[in-house]
Amino acid sequence: MSPLRLVPVLIVSVLSACATGPSLILLTSEEGKQGSVAVLEHDGIRSDDVIDELNSWTNLSGRPHSSSIDPAKLDTRLRRLLEDLPPAPVYRTLYFLEGTTRITPDSVPNLEFLKSEIARRPGAEVLVTGYTDTVGSSDDNDELSQRRAEEILKGLVEQGIAISMMSAVGRGERELLDKTRDNVSSALNRRVVVTVR
């Protein structure tokens, strides 16, 4: 059985030309993925309704049913509400030279991209997460991953990003992209992932 994941939904009171009363709309997650929602019971009556299409809806005030939304038929207030949702988070991965806190030359352009992405989001939150490969001890890799994250944080501060909107954490050898044995050098695992939301 797969783990339970939270699925973003929007509950609104009216969808003109689609439904009356409260309705549920399925949105994408912060990671840009689509989940599904099951309506198991409505007014004490068993229901097998599953909403699993992006931007599909179901009426919560009558017998549930699911259908896609035609954006052209949405009421103006709802259309504005959907348009005003914050943009989906952006993720950028920067890679590091082995055993160092220096990013690879190919990763340098990502810093400029991150600066512009953060600047275009009022009240942005930035999480910088460092990782390592499996070469060395777990304790050393925890420390190195934290230093890598802090190095990227420092680089963003030097580009004018306020430290107050950012945080850095090191995850060491955890969450390997390249599932290697212990003491294996892997360029894919020597990384920092920057999340801007």
Are 110 and 164 contained in the same domain? yes
Q: Residue 169 pLDDT > 70, yes or no?
A: yes
Q: What is the pLDDT of residue 68?
A: 59
**Could you tell me the residue range of the domain that residue 54 belongs to?**
9-83
**Residue 191's beta-bridge partner residues?**
95
Query: Residues 103, 162: one domain?
Result: yes
Indicate the pLDDT class of residue 128, thresholds 50, 70 and 90. very high
Query: Does some domain include residue 3?
Result: no
Per residue, the 3-state secondary structure of 6-47, as one string, reads: CCCEEEECCECCCECCCEEEECCCCCCCCCCEEEEEECCEEE
Per-residue model confidence as pLDDT tens digits over 153-168: 999 999 899 999 999 9
Q: Is the pLDDT assigned to residue 147 strictly greater than 70?
A: yes
Same domain, 187 and 129: yes
In tens, the pLDDT along 77-118 reads 666 766 777 778 999 999 999 999 999 999 999 999 999 999
Question: Which one has a higher pLDDT value, 69 or 10?
Answer: 69
21 and 95 fall within a common domain: no
Answer whether residue 45 is part of any domain: yes
Q: Are residues 99 and 152 in the same domain?
A: yes
Q: What is the rounded CA–CA span in Å between residue 151 and residue 128?
A: 10
The CATH number that applies at residue 189 is 3.30.1330.60
| Residue at 190 is within a domain | yes
